[in-house]
Amino acid sequence: MKAFILDRYGKKQALRLGDMPEPVPGPDDVLVAVEAAGLNQLDSKIRDGAFKPILPYKPPLVLGHDLAGTVVQVGAKVRRFKAGDAVYARPRDGQIGTFAERIAVKEADLALKPANLTMAEAASIPLVGLTAWQVLVERAQIKPGQKVLIHAGSGGVGTSAIQLAKHLGATVATTASAANAALVRELGADIVINYRSQKFEEELSGYDVVLNSLDAATLEKSLRVLKPGGKLISISGPPDPAFARARGLNVAIRLVLRMMSAGIRRKAKRAGVDYSFLFMHADGGQLGRIAKLIEDGTIRPVVDGVFPFEQLNEAFATIDTGRAKGKVVVTLK
């Protein structure tokens, strides 16, 4: 089958369109013909080699963490899906590879595609939708009336998180450029901080939760807007000891991650704030709940651009600018 292959790690390394063996589904797997695949910063970071210590993939490999497509075949133990079903998923770590014509996905990672979305729109949702869900519902347990700051509101995670936080009853602040202010307000942001002309840490206070997806300086400044007992949840690092334990990483890597996060954990403790790092995980059940929110109009996808599959490297160049609104997607059909 045709696939885009990462032959070696490297900063902005181009992927090669070539042939890979057909996936062979196991008894718990669903074989899916990929019709659209979303691109994520995670793909860029793996390509660049930034995640080698915690995601030790060995090139040559196929990247891609988002898919929408049609079920071709199901394994002997699969009960929830059948050939012909329209589905979407974020395959689990170790089983990624959506930049290909077909992929085998665990039944537990898969959900029926939202009926009101195209394949391209559906492919934009899984990773960012699950990230928003796992930060706001699982980790933060947002309650109506709480105040949430979501950094980078016009990005992939930001556009999903703003909508979900509003659905949960929160007052939502976000950082964005002036050019994207109208978009994030339309998605539900109550307060929009222009990061070029305003300092969010001086404008906001008494917040319950901050979702950080930016750099270390932004992470540290975010402590100032949280009230005592608030939660600072970062999806861009640094990873903390709890993450290292959960991933079963070796002692040497655990020690490195402990040292990397020591500064922000110490400052958070001093401020009476809980710091944690979240690396999202695949979950078809959560995707099913997100699909219902999409079908009832609570959440909508935000897609910056759709490229044909053959232009995957051009699609990567778009997300590497860091200026995409929502998601960038490639289509195979």
Query: 2-125+301-331: which CATH number, 3.90.180.10, 3.60.21.10, 3.40.50.300, 3.40.50.1820?
Result: 3.90.180.10
What element of type H or E holds 17?
A: strand 16-19
Q: How far is CA 84 from CA 30, 71, 107, 120, in A?
A: 11, 5, 15, 17
Torsion of CA 208, 143, 167, 304, to 10 degrees: 30
What string of pLDDT tens digits covers the 333 residues of the chain?
999 999 999 999 999 999 999 999 999 999 999 999 999 999 999 999 999 888 989 999 999 999 999 999 999 999 999 999 999 999 999 999 999 999 999 999 999 999 999 999 999 999 999 999 999 999 999 999 999 999 999 999 999 999 999 999 999 999 999 999 999 999 999 999 999 999 999 999 999 999 999 999 999 999 999 999 999 999 999 999 999 999 898 999 999 999 999 999 999 999 999 999 999 999 999 999 999 999 999 999 999 999 999 999 999 999 999 989 999 999 998
**What are the start and end residues of each CATH 3.40.50.720 domain in the chain?**
128-277
Pairing of strands 207-212, 226-234: parallel
Q: Output the pTM of the full model.
A: 0.97
**What are the start and end residues of each CATH 3.90.180.10 domain in the chain?**
2-125+301-331
What is the token pair recorded at 105? 């996905």
Name the amino acid, one letter, at 255.
L
Tell me the DSSP string of 81-141. --TT-EEEE-PPTTS---SBSEEEEEGGGEEEPPTTS-HHHHHTSHHHHHHHHIIIIIIS-
Q: Does domain 128-277 have CATH number 3.40.50.720?
A: yes
Cis before 126 (ω within 30):
no
Q: Give CA–CA dist 178/232, Å, rounded.
A: 25
